[in-house]
């Protein structure tokens, strides 16, 4: 290449990069160099079970961690910030103060450990392979995902579950390379998962948790071996393998249910809920039956910690708006049912490089969502106190995607320990407004512009049941906007959001 063409090439490259940066503005400020602890302020565990928690913390490493009030059965690794051991035998609340310090500064955070029967006091966070790897998922990819959660910094914001979806088992049939179960009836993982215990140990060593998937039917949705009539053996096996989370997907169970009554809908979930509770391991239970029988009304009673409220987001058709909006609108309606340990699940966050749910062999492609739509997506999920599972290609993370996923103030809204889901303040063809009360008395408010043109949006204190002066903080930019009286208004981009916190 001549000097001149190198020059032209680099000018063009700079112009393309500039255009891209303008189209994808990074709003989240970079993490500060000083140690700063993030993550939930309340955490549930059952008594006397294996315990694992990696303190999410940004700032330059090395960081020294310490904790006050840690029960004696738990120990904290001062260098990694991983708390491990056994949860206390005695039910009750343990007030712990987590501390972190590095050469640039220090931080502390209250952490209430609640020993009892409720897990997932705040919505679970992590990564699930489904929308990027489908039936291509392997042990190696899951390990790589765990590595990347740490290396990318996502774990420092609280993303700590590494969850395998469908296709880790054997697909029964004449072409199956081996039987789906051992002669004793125990489920086997397929050749792409040679050693489940080694995999969960790998994940646990990083302070992260491991999740798994199955179906109450004979076959999973992708036609792999399900748990039908092997439920007890499977629950035992998942615990013995060291898993911390189970997604239980209805799939072929429809053919086994005696009828379509509520009791039959609940039966398999009630059964697995109880089996999981009886294992000597805390396993978060995610119900996946697409909202049948108004699952939000009873999902918690059958042992669920979260439940999908709709069909698959990745299969949702775009109408005038991208599919995540229609899923979000449906999920938003069930706000009154969400509380600590019981969350509505509108499905995964599909941004960055995402596979095609209709063409599972196609490689992941960069999302067609605009930057504003992606900020809206994440804001809506946080306001709805949704489990936050990224399901794009974690081996191909870009800066913009990370900026959407890793804004500590946005995540704090999702993880707020009051555990309320935002109520719908307004829903018209052009506007959607959500408001989520937070534990410190402030209110997180999202003004979503559904129209194709920029729009001035306004909410009054009457709409929000507020009064007096309110400080307004822009959550994406992490900037105070001043004090408002009576109303808040903002110019909102097409399909964009103004996401603020209003408080005294």
Q: Which residues are designated catalytic?
A: 249, 312
Contact 283, 270 (CB under 8 A): no
What's the closest the beta carbon of residue 347 comes to ligand GLA, in angstroms? 7
- Residue with the CB atom nearest ligand GLA in the bound state: 221
DSSP string, 58-116: ESSSP-EEEEES--TTEEE-TTT-EEEEE--SS-EEEEEEEEEEETTEEEEEEEEEEES
Among 156, 244, 249, 372, binds ligand GLA (CB under 6 A): 249
Give the Cα separation of 277 and 284 in Å (integer).
9
Among 76, 222, 295, 397, binds ligand GLA (CB under 6 A): 222
220 near ligand GLA, rule: CB under 6 A: yes
Taking the least distance from each CB to ligand GLA, the nearer of 199 and 219 is 219
Taking the least distance from each CB to ligand GLA, the nearer of 222 and 388 is 222
Give the Cα separation of 500 and 445 in Å (integer).
5
Candidates 91-99, 139-147, 215-223, 293-301 — which segment interacts with ligand GLA by CB under 6 A? Answer: 215-223
Q: CA distances (Å), 181 to each of 164, 177, 216, 239, in order?
A: 19, 12, 16, 17
Query: What is the distance, to the nearest Å, from the Cα of residue 177 to the centroid of all Cα atoms in its chain?
Result: 34
225 near ligand GLA, rule: CB under 6 A: no
232 near ligand GLA, rule: CB under 6 A: no
Candidates 100-108, 219-227, 291-299, 415-423 — which segment interacts with ligand GLA by CB under 6 A? Answer: 219-227
Phi, psi (rounded to 5 degrees) for 462: -65, -45
Among 312, 367, 418, 474, binds ligand GLA (CB under 6 A): 312
What is the footprint of ligand GLA within residues 468-487 (CB under 6 A)? none
Candidates 218-226, 373-381, 405-413, 470-478 — which segment interacts with ligand GLA by CB under 6 A? Answer: 218-226
HEC-encoded secondary structure of 186-241: CECECCCCCCHHHHHHHHHHCCCEEEEEECCCCECCCCCECCCCCHHHHHHHHHHH
Taking the least distance from each CB to ligand GLA, the nearer of 100 and 221 is 221
Query: What is the distance, to the nearest Å, from the Cα of residue 263 to the centroid of all Cα atoms in its chain?
Result: 29
The count of C-alpha atoms lying within 13 angstroms of the C-alpha of 108, restricted to the half-sphere facing its C-beta, is 9
What is the footprint of ligand GLA within residues 253-292 (CB under 6 A)? 288
Instruction: State the binding string over 337-376 for ligand GLA (x if CB under 6 A, else -).
Output: ----------------------------------------
Candidates 181-189, 217-225, 234-242, 448-456 — which segment interacts with ligand GLA by CB under 6 A? Answer: 217-225
Taking the least distance from each CB to ligand GLA, the nearer of 288 and 383 is 288
Instruction: State the binding string over 165-184 for ligand GLA (x if CB under 6 A, else -).
Output: xx------------------
What is the footprint of ligand GLA within residues 21-50 (CB under 6 A)? none
Instruction: For residue 427, give both structure tokens.
Output: 């829903």
Give the Cα separation of 157 and 142 in Å (integer).
19
What's the closest the beta carbon of residue 223 comes to ligand GLA, in angstroms? 9
Taking the least distance from each CB to ligand GLA, the nearer of 131 and 325 is 131
DSSP state of 41: S
Closest CA to 468 of 440, 489, 441, 487: 487
DSSP state of 30: P
What's the closest the beta carbon of residue 289 comes to ligand GLA, in angstroms? 9
Total binding residues toward ligand GLA, as defined by CB under 6 A: 9
What's the closest the beta carbon of residue 342 comes to ligand GLA, in angstroms? 19
Taking the least distance from each CB to ligand GLA, the nearer of 88 and 211 is 211
Contact 468, 433 (CB under 8 A): no
Other C-beta atoms within 10 Å of 440: how many? Answer: 11
What is the footprint of ligand GLA within residues 113-132 (CB under 6 A)? 130
Sheet with 82-86: strands ordered across: 50-54, 82-86, 74-76
Taking the least distance from each CB to ligand GLA, the nearer of 221 and 447 is 221
Taking the least distance from each CB to ligand GLA, the nearer of 288 and 350 is 288
Q: Which spans of this chain sit near ligand GLA (rule: CB under 6 A)?
A: 130, 165-166, 220-222, 249, 288, 312
């Amino acid at each position: 290449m001549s000097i001149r063409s190198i020059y032209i090439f680099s000018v063009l490259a700079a112009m393309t990069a500039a255009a891209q940066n303008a189209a994808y503005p990074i709003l989240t400020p970079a993490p500060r160099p000083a140690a700063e602890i993030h993550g939930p302020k309340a955490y549930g565990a059952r008594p006397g079970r294996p315990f694992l928690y990696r303190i999410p913390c940004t700032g330059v490493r090395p960081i020294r961690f310490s904790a006050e009030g840690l029960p004696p059965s738990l120990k904290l690794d001062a260098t990694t910030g991983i708390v491990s051991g056994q949860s206390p035998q005695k039910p009750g609340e343990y007030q712990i103060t987590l501390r972190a310090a590095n050469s640039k500064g220090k931080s502390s955070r209250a952490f209430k450990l609640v020993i009892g029967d409720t897990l997932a006091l705040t919505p679970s966070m992590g990564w699930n392979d489904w929308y990027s790897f489908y039936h291509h998922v392997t042990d190696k990819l899951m390990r790589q995902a765990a590595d990347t959660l740490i290396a990318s910094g996502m774990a420092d914001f609280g993303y700590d579950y590494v969850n395998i979806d469908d296709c880790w088992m054997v697909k029964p049939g004449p072409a199956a390379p081996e039987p789906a179960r051992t002669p004793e009836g125990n489920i086997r993982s397929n050749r792409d998962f040679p050693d489940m215990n080694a995999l969960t140990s790998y994940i646990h060593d990083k302070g992260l948790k491991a999740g798994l998937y199955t179906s109450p039917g004979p076959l999973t949705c992708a036609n792999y071996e399900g748990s039908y009539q092997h439920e007890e053996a499977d629950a035992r096996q998942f615990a013995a393998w060291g898993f911390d989370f189970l997604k239980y997907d209805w799939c072929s169970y429809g053919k086994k249910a005696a009828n379509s009554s509520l009791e039959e809908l609940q039966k398999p979930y009630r059964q697995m809920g109880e089996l999981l509770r009886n294992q000597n391991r805390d396993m978060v239970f995610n119900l996946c039956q697409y909202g049948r029988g108004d699952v939000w009304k009873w999902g918690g009673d059958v042992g669920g910690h979260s439940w999908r409220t709709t069909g698959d987001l990745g299969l949702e058709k775009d109408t005038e708006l991208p599919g995540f909006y229609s899923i979000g609108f449906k999920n938003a309606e069930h706000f009154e049912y969400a509380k600590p340990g019981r969350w509505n699940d509108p499905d995964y966050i599909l941004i960055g490089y995402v596979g095609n749910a209709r063409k599972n062999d196609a490689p992941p492609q960069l999302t067609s969502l605009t930057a504003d739509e992606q900020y809206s997506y994440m804001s809506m999920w946080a306001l709805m106190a949704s489990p936050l599972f990224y399901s794009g290609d974690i081996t191909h993370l870009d800066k913009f995607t990370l900026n959407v996923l890793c804004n500590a103030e946005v995540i704090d809204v999702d993880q707020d320990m009051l555990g309320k889901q935002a109520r719908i303040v307004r829903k018209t063809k052009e506007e959607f407004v959500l408001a989520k009360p937070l534990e410190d008395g402030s209110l997180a408010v999202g003004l979503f512009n559904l129209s194709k043109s920029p729009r001035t949006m306004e909410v009054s204190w009457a709409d929000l049941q507020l009064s007096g002066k309110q400080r307004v903080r822009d959550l994406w930019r992490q900037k105070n906007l001043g004090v408002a009286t009576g109303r808040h208004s903002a110019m909102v981009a097409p399909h964009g959001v103004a996401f603020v916190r209003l408080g005294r």
